[in-house]
Amino acid sequence: MPEVETEIGRYLDRRAAVDWYRANRRRTAEIFEMLAPEAYHDRPIALRNPIVFYEGHLPAFSVNTLVKRGLGQPGIDPRFEVLFERGIDPEDESAVPGAPAAWPPRVEILAYGARADRAIVEALETKDVTREDSPVLARGLAAYTILEHEPMHQETLLYMWHRLPYGKKRAPEGAPRPVLGGDPPGRATVRVPAGLATLGAKTNAVAFGWDNEFAEHVVEVPGFEIDIDDVTNRDFLEFVRAGGYEREDLWSEEGWLWRGENDVHHPAFWERSGDDWTWRGMFEPLPLPPGWPVFVSHAEASAYARWRDSRLPTEAEFHRAAYGTSAGSERSYPWGEEPPDRTRGNFDFARWDPVPVGSFPAGASAWGVRDLLGNGWEWTSTVFGPFPGFEPMPSYPVYSTDFFDGKHWVMKGGSLATANPLLRRSFRNWFRGNYPYVYATFRTVRGT
Residues found near Fe ion in the complex (CB under 5 A): 87
Q: Please, are residues 410 and 429 in contact by the beta-carbon 8 Å criterion? A: yes
Cα angle at 47 between 422 and 162, to 5 degrees? 60
Provide the minimum distance between the beta carbon of 24 and Fe ion in the complex, in angstroms, as a whole number.
13
Nearest CA among 138, 157, 152 for reference residue 43 = 157
C-beta closer to Fe ion: residue 74 or 87: 87
Q: Please, are residues 411 and 379 in contact by the beta-carbon 8 Å criterion? A: yes
C-beta closer to Fe ion: residue 65 or 382: 65
Is there a cis peptide before residue 215, judged by omega within 30 degrees of 0? Answer: yes
C-beta closer to Fe ion: residue 151 or 363: 151
Provide the minimum distance between the beta carbon of 61 and Fe ion in the complex, in angstroms, as a whole number.
5
Q: Please, are residues 345 and 360 in contact by the beta-carbon 8 Å criterion? A: yes
Provide the minimum distance between the beta carbon of 151 and Fe ion in the complex, in angstroms, as a whole number.
11
Half-sphere exposure of residue 393, counting CA atoms within 13 Å on the CB side?
25
Provide the minimum distance between the beta carbon of 77 and Fe ion in the complex, in angstroms, as a whole number.
18
Cα angle at 377 between 375 and 383, to 5 degrees? 170
Provide the minimum distance between the beta carbon of 150 and Fe ion in the complex, in angstroms, as a whole number.
9
Provide the minimum distance between the beta carbon of 397 and Fe ion in the complex, in angstroms, as a whole number.
14
Angstrom distance (rounded) from CA 425 to CA 373: 10
C-beta closer to Fe ion: residue 87 or 185: 87
C-beta closer to Fe ion: residue 61 or 323: 61
Q: What is the distance in angstroms between the CA of the first residue and the CA of the last residue of the chain?
A: 58
C-beta closer to Fe ion: residue 87 or 222: 87
Angstrom distance (rounded) from CA 325 to CA 196: 10
C-beta closer to Fe ion: residue 153 or 163: 153
**Residues present in the chain in total:** 448
Provide the minimum distance between the beta carbon of 57 and Fe ion in the complex, in angstroms, as a whole number.
6
Angstrom distance (rounded) from CA 260 to CA 246: 9
Provide the minimum distance between the beta carbon of 426 and Fe ion in the complex, in angstroms, as a whole number.
20
C-beta closer to Fe ion: residue 87 or 243: 87
Nearest CA among 51, 39, 162 for reference residue 109 = 51
Provide the minimum distance between the beta carbon of 419 and Fe ion in the complex, in angstroms, as a whole number.
15
C-beta closer to Fe ion: residue 87 or 90: 87
C-beta closer to Fe ion: residue 60 or 226: 60
Residue nearest to Fe ion (CB): 87
Provide the minimum distance between the beta carbon of 324 and Fe ion in the complex, in angstroms, as a whole number.
33
C-beta closer to Fe ion: residue 87 or 165: 87
C-beta closer to Fe ion: residue 87 or 285: 87
Provide the minimum distance between the beta carbon of 400 and Fe ion in the complex, in angstroms, as a whole number.
13
Provide the minimum distance between the beta carbon of 396 and Fe ion in the complex, in angstroms, as a whole number.
9
Q: Please, are residues 164 and 281 in contact by the beta-carbon 8 Å criterion? A: no
